[in-house]
Amino acid sequence: MLAAVVLTVGLIVAAMPFLTGVLGRWMTGQRSLEDADLWMRASLRLSEDTARAIPLVTGDPKSPTVAYRGNDRQIRFVRPSLSSNAASRFETVTFTLERTDDGEAVIRRTSPWTTAGFDAPGGGGTATTILSGPYRFRFVQVSGSGDRSSDWSNAQEMPRLVELVVEPTGRRPAPAAPLALPILANRPGGGPAGGGAAVAGQGNAANGPSGGGTPGPGTGGGGPGARPPYVQSPPPGGPMPPPPH
């Protein structure tokens, strides 16, 4: 009887390193699956926002400025409001990269769009954590011509897409390649191909090489022109223009 107990204990001790290794690999695999699922959900959430971004223009129509701000730690843009009861038909969306105890987090904030409030520090609104972990994040803006920049300085259009780059801190590998967040209507006129409908009473000046636009509140145009139509912010107290289609 004693010999059987000793043999059993010996087998358990001998098998312990193997069992520990199997358990460790299982836990690593389980964590990798959870990380991949979290990363996918975050990608869908982020890309849904950027895909709905609109090139809202503020300032003097002779020298318009598109409502987009971006650097390696924060991007800010305007999209149609998700709520039909919202005070404004548009809302400002801000994604900020903030430090946490174990790494960094991607924080989302939204607030009703106003001309004065767009450049306010912090972005306002309720903060929601989209992604967090032992990683280092940074944004990279990619222009329509493929140029990559950490600081976006083109006041006439938004980037074609924004990359969210993730780098491991050493405690855990990065769960995915950089996320590509597309901006479909990246410049006034409806998008990279131009030819969107005129908005807020502006004429369609999309008179690029593919065809001429229609003056006034027309319906189209061809390729990208020198000054395509844009969504212009209303005067103080005036009605909000409809979002581009």
Q: Which two tokens stand for residue 153?
A: 């300085």
Please list, in sequence order, all residues whose beta carbon lies within 8 angstroms of the beta carbon of residue 107, skipping any fewer than 6 positions away: 95, 96, 97, 98, 127, 128, 129, 130
Q: What is the mean pLDDT of the chain?
A: 71
CB 141 within 8 A of CB 70: yes
Residues 32-50 have a mean pLDDT of: 84
Distance from CA of residue 68 to its chain's centroid? 12
Q: Do residues 206 and 164 make contact, with C-beta atoms less than 8 angstroms apart?
A: no
- For the chain, the DSSP string reads -HHHHHHHHHHHHHHHHHHHHHHHHHHHHHHHHHHHHHHHHHHHHHHHHHHT-B-EEES-TTS-EESEEE-SSEEEEEEE-S-TT-SSSEEEEEEEEEE-SSSEEEEEEEEE--TTTTTSTT--S-EEEEEEESEEEEEEEE-TT--EESS---TT---SEEEEEEEE-SSS--SSSPEEEE-SS-STTSSTT--PPP-TT-------TT-PPPTTT-----S--SS---EEPPPTTPPPPPPP-
**What's the pLDDT at 77?**
95
DSSP lists the bridge partners of residue 142 as 148, 161
Measured CA distances, 90 to 56, 134, 154 (Å): 9, 34, 22
pLDDT digits (tens, 9 = 90+) for 63-88: 878 999 999 999 999 999 877 776 67
Does residue 86 contact residue 106 with C-beta atoms inside 8 Å?
no
223 vs 138, higher pLDDT:
138
Cα torsion through 107, 108, 114, 116, rounded to 10: 10
Structure tokens at 34: 């959870």
* pLDDT at residue number 73: 97
* Domain ranges, ordered by start, for the chain: 48-182, 188-240
* pLDDT (tens digit per residue) in 10-31: 544 454 554 454 444 444 444 5
pTM over 0.75: no
Higher pLDDT: 32 or 222? It is: 32
Contact predicate 78/231, CB 8 Å: no
State the pLDDT confidence band at 4, using cuts at 50, 70 and 90. Answer: low
Report the amino acid identity of residue 217: P
